[in-house]
Amino acid sequence: MVDDIEISNPPTRLPVVALFTANGISMVGTVMTHLAIPWFVLQTTGSAAKTGIVAFFIILPTVFAAFIGGPLVDRLGFRRSSIITDCACAITIGLIPLLYSAGLLEFWLLLVLVFIANLFETPGGTARMALLPDLAVRANMTMEQASSALQVIGRSSRLIGAPLAGLLIALLGPSQVLWLDAATFAVSAIIITVATPRTKIKPGKEKSESFWEEMVGGFTFIWQDSLIKPVVLVVMVTNLLDGAVYGVILPFYTKTFLGQALDMGLLIAVSGGGAVVGALIFGAFSKKLPQREIFLWGFVIIGIEYAALALVPPFWVLILAFTVGGIAAGPINPIMGAVIFNRVPANSRGRVISAITAGANVVTPIGVLGVGFILEQVDVRVVLAVMGIIYILVTSSLFFSRGIHELGKPVKTVLEQN
């Protein structure tokens, strides 16, 4: 990482706070974009199939970038990668409303811009996550605390971004929301540039590897890890289902049964708010709570959202179901984040995080693309019921995984080993 130089400073929380702030700002904008674009397409075309195609082009580059982005992040440096990708996202996303206002935004061009923007977004998130362990050490934070704080920021972005997007879509139109998203990436780049230090990760003793070997190495690490491997395989399926729900089904469901974009935003917001509560509780009491049981049952409880939607109950019931599901989901990512920070060597952190992202999302584009066409043939309530059954069956399989028993057991972290 030729841009980074080694420095030695006394403990300070400023860099990690700056990282959390930058990540939160950009994620709020991202949530707004991911709601605004599908709603824009559905509103202007009335086609669930085209909405699915757009969602496909949002997720597909995420998977592609996850495959190749990790080695690039390791080579360029975590800080530099974050800045470059944020700037690229600001420019690309800003072009969407600009071209639309000029009457030049054809559907194929929208797909291209969405693809490029999300191609840069994923490595940026990887870079900021890879920066966290070292900045957390500077702030005297445990990995569980750092991971919980990161997830609280991510979940809070839904709490803020989703209802704000719904409100702004109703007041200004979906295209105008994208201007704000472009600005959030620019602000994130500025914060990382000004407030985070340049750090140097010591290279490992292994021989120099080619780009291909580095990329494959990330997947090899996952496959050989008895704890991370089964979780990634399960999340592969749950992300496929969740991606279809939040990317296609929820906008379609809202337009069919609820009628207002704000209702969709509120459902996503209460889910995010519940997850914030869950993550905060875990972060505060992580040393006392049974991590394995919370992790396993949290996955299963999330399935309540599918059942509630399938029954088309009063709106307050949906709010309650999404809140409970969010609370159950809250500790899941902090637990896995701590596992990754503790088990993955710093010099390969980027490629392993990217490989986990790629593995968890590799089949998600198929779900968002296919469900749009399915909705034109099958009642949405039937689709949700089937998806809920699949969700519960798949997540329940983790109860029988041997590696999952390592959760919550004391480990010697890679930072301690170094």
pLDDT (0 to 100) of residue 49: 73
Query: Which of 41-50, 85-94, 170-179 reaches the highest mean pLDDT?
Result: 85-94
* 5 or 320, higher pLDDT: 320
Burial environment of residue 121 by CB neighbours within 10 A (0 to 12, 13 to 18, 19 or more)? buried
- Which range of 25-39, 163-177, 307-321 scores highest in mean pLDDT? It is 307-321
User: Are residues 360 and 170 in contact, defined by beta-carbon separation less than 8 angstroms?
Assistant: no
Residue in the block written with tokens 């120099």: 208
Closest C-alpha to 99, from 84, 87, 85, 117: 117
6-60 pLDDT, tens digit each: 444 556 778 888 888 888 888 887 777 777 777 777 776 777 777 778 877 877 7
CB count within 10 Å of CB 250 equals: 20
pLDDT (tens digit, 9 = 90+) per residue, 251-310?
A: 888 878 887 777 887 888 788 788 888 888 887 776 777 878 888 888 889 888 888 999
Query: Measuring CA to CA, how many Å separate 177 from each of 151, 162, 171, 184, 283?
Result: 24, 11, 10, 11, 33
Tally the C-alpha atoms within 13 A of residue 219's C-alpha that lie toward its C-beta.
13
Average pLDDT, the chain: 79
Domains observed in the chain:
14-198+211-407 (1.20.1250.20)
DSSP 202: P
Q: CA separation (Å) from 327 to 146, 155, 208, 231, 274?
A: 19, 11, 44, 19, 4
For the chain, give the percent of residues with pLDDT over 70. 88
Tens of pLDDT, residue by residue over 336-351, are 887 887 787 777 777 7
Measured distance between the N- and C-terminal CA atoms of the chain, rounded to whole angstroms? 18
Q: Above 60 in pLDDT, residue 207?
A: no
Assess contact for 192 and 82: CB atoms under 8 A: yes
Q: Does residue 116 have a pLDDT over 50?
A: yes
Q: What is the mean pLDDT of residues 127-152?
A: 79
Comparing CA positions, the residue from 44, 57, 418, 411 lying closest to residue 228 is 411
At position 199, the amino acid (one-letter code) is: T
pLDDT score at 6: 41
| Residue, of 32 and 241, whose pLDDT is higher | 241
Question: Mean pLDDT, to the nearest integer, of 383-400?
Answer: 90
Structure token digits, residue 199: 């750090």
| Amino acid residing at 316 | W
Residues above pLDDT 90, as percent of the chain:
5
Which candidate, 209, 235, 203, 238, places its Cα nearest to that of 222? 235
Which of these ranges, 36-40, 99-103, 135-139, has the smallest mean pLDDT? Answer: 36-40
